[in-house]
Structure 1
């Protein structure tokens, strides 16, 4: 038997994180200098939006709902994260492309950690379906792999000198 209160709080935290993550994905997709990266991030945004709907279902299954205070805090934290010096004062630094891809990968890894917890709980909890978490974990692994490829390609472009 699960502790619905604690699991609800845990899911609220992940939901707030997904809210911030979606904001970061959108900003990164809008501002990335590479069109291939922009297209990939836009596709991942659709997946993350669908996962957020799944999180809402999981919250409801334990008698909880998204916490507006946590969501607002995550939103503010994402906005504040934009104000970091990257060596440029007036225009966007190429370092921002690398840093954002790293943050996105870390966010997806955090999401996958949450799916692993829920998958384990689903083994003994009829309100959750193991196969759904297996699919979510598979998607997260693919997202991590794609983000890592994009991150490394971007880093090589940014850090290698021309010629």
Structure 2
């Protein structure tokens, strides 16, 4: 197994853990929106996606890089400190920004899986499963993009007279 593939697995495992944190926070904060239940489904899918990465790591004997996992999760939490025009309560724009973060996260995940496909390290069954996960990742991006459009229209849409 090549060192770059080990690094890819570890990076995506750490990113996947941070993504679960972001999905969890976003789903909880936006549960009352029309797409709240869909965010919960996406959270469950993100957990399954991470589980795939961790199964491959275990099979190949690749231990997690704990410092990287912690750094990614701390980075996700620090991202909450962005200036949003509100000091104490949640800003309406947070819904839009969190969905943008999730769209970016899913895009990175899919890109990593596409790289893993050509690495020559996965078993035939893993490659088949990965193909399904890639397709689902594209679906996740489409669903998140639609949610983003809805949230942006609610928050940024032109005022009607």
- Partners of 1:99 and 1:32 in 2: how far apart? 12
Gaps (5+ residues) in structure 2? Answer: none
Match of 1:136 in 2: 133
| Structure 1 runs of 4+ with >4 Å offset | none
Matched, 1:160 2:157: yes
- The match for 2:148 among 134, 144, 151 is 151
The whole-number CA distance in structure 2 between the counterparts of 1:115 and 1:41 is: 22
Over the aligned positions, Cα root-mean-square deviation in angstroms equals: 1.6
SS at match of 2:34: helix
Query: What is the deviation of 1:133?
Result: 1.5
When the two structures are superposed, what TM-score results if normalisation uses the length of structure 2?
0.91
Give the match for residue 123 of structure 2: 127
Give the alignment of 1:12-161 within 5 angstroms.
Answer: 12-32=10-30, 34-121=32-119, 124-125=120-121, 127-128=123-124, 129-161=126-158
Q: CA deviation at 1:33?
A: 6.5
Q: Shift in Å at residue 14 of structure 1?
A: 0.3
Relative to 1, partners in 2 of residues 1:96 and 1:33: Cα closer, same or farther, differing over 3 Å? farther
After TM superposition, the score normalised by the length of structure 1 is 0.90
Q: 2:5, 2:116 within 8 Å by CA — same for their partners in 1?
A: no
Structure 1, unpaired ranges of 5+: none
Aligned length: 159
